[in-house]
């Protein structure tokens, strides 16, 4: 498999999941600024939407969208318990969390990466994020991972987007449960390996 990624982007979640699953993958840098691959290929030819992650399977099949890729990875290694079994309520709970992270956290960060976004607008998005993180902090008060007692791909995703808080000036230090969770996830060998693997490409 090939994972097309950009350092610091949400594709880190898929990279972490792949390493947690113990799967072989070839990471391919797909800069979200130049949209050009290391060999000069126009990334838009692979993904007309131009963003990462993009997963290329061994037969050339392409899969877009982080939440879909995360679940696909989890299902390739069911014994790793990165996602509950399909058809169970627990699986739908995982999908509930992935949807929340995607729409309420990830997409509220996105406008703050836009240099043309007015400061007043960024404040609105920051306030929305703070309210969502306050709620998340409450959810993590009595469980070690996002969905409960087991590490899942939801932890990969939330960890990745939460990495953006400090660089973008979002103060969530008061969310003590969240910060403790983030520190625990950051200590996982697969997380550290994924981050290290992406650093040389910067």
pLDDT in tens, the chain (202 residues): 999 999 999 999 999 999 999 999 999 999 888 999 999 999 999 999 999 999 999 999 999 999 999 999 999 999 999 999 999 999 999 999 999 999 999 999 999 999 999 999 999 999 999 999 999 999 999 999 999 999 999 999 999 999 999 999 999 999 999 999 999 999 999 999 999 999 854 3
User: Is there a contact between 129 and 105 (Cβ–Cβ < 8 Å)?
Assistant: yes
Please state, in angstroms and rounded to a whole number, the distance separating the CA atoms of residues 83 and 103: 20
Domains and CATH numbers, the chain: 2-80+190-201 (3.40.30.10), 89-188 (1.20.1050.10)
Angle (nearest 5°) at CA 170 between 14 and 136: 60
In whole angstroms, give the CA distance from residue 201 to residue 178.
Answer: 29
Dihedral of the CA atoms 23, 152, 163, 177 (nearest 10)?
-150
Torsion of CA 149, 16, 74, 43, to 10 degrees: 150
Q: Which residues pair with 63 in a beta bridge?
A: 55
- Torsion angle in degrees (nearest 10) through CA of 96, 66, 125, 93: 10
Q: Can you tell me the distance from the alpha carbon of 58 to that of 55, in angstroms, rounded to the nearest whole number?
A: 10
Q: What is the pLDDT of residue 200?
A: 58
pLDDT value at residue 125: 97
CA–CA separation, 195 vs 199, rounded Å? Answer: 6
Extract the runs of DSSP E, i.e. beta strands, from 33-174: 54-56, 62-64
Give the 3-state secondary structure of residue 132. helix
Q: Full-prediction pTM beyond 0.75?
A: yes
Q: Is 66 left (phi over 0), alpha (psi -120 to 50) or beta?
A: alpha
What pLDDT score does 128 carry? Answer: 97
State the number of CA atoms in the 13 A half-sphere of 20 facing the CB: 32
Q: What are phi and psi of 138, to 5 degrees?
A: -65, -40
Angle between helices 89-100 and 66-76 (to 10 degrees): 150
Q: Do the beta carbons of residue 31 and residue 86 sit within 8 Å?
A: no
């Amino acid at each position: 498999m090939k994972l097309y990624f950009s350092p610091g982007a949400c594709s880190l979640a898929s990279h972490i999941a792949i390493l947690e699953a113990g799967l072989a993958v070839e990471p391919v840098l797909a800069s979200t600024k130049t949209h050009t691959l290391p060999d000069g290929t126009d990334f838009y030819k692979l993904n007309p939407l131009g963003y990462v992650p993009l997963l290329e399977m061994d037969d050339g099949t392409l899969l877009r969208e982080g939440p879909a890729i995360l679940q696909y990875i989890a299902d390739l290694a069911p014994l790793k318990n990165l996602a509950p079994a399909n058809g169970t309520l627990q699986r739908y709970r995982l999908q509930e969390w992935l949807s929340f992270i995607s729409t309420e956290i990830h997409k509220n960060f996105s406008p703050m990466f836009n240099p043309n976004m007015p400061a007043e607008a960024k404040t609105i998005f920051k306030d929305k994020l703070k309210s969502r993180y306050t709620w998340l902090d409450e959810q993590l008060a009595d469980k070690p991972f996002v969905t409960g007692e087991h590490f899942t791909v939801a932890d990969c995703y939330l960890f990745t987007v939460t990495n953006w808080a400090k660089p973008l000036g979002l103060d969530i230090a008061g969310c003590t449960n969240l910060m403790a969770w983030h520190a625990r996830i950051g200590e996982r060998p697969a997380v550290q390996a994924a981050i290290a693997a992406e650093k040389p490409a910067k």
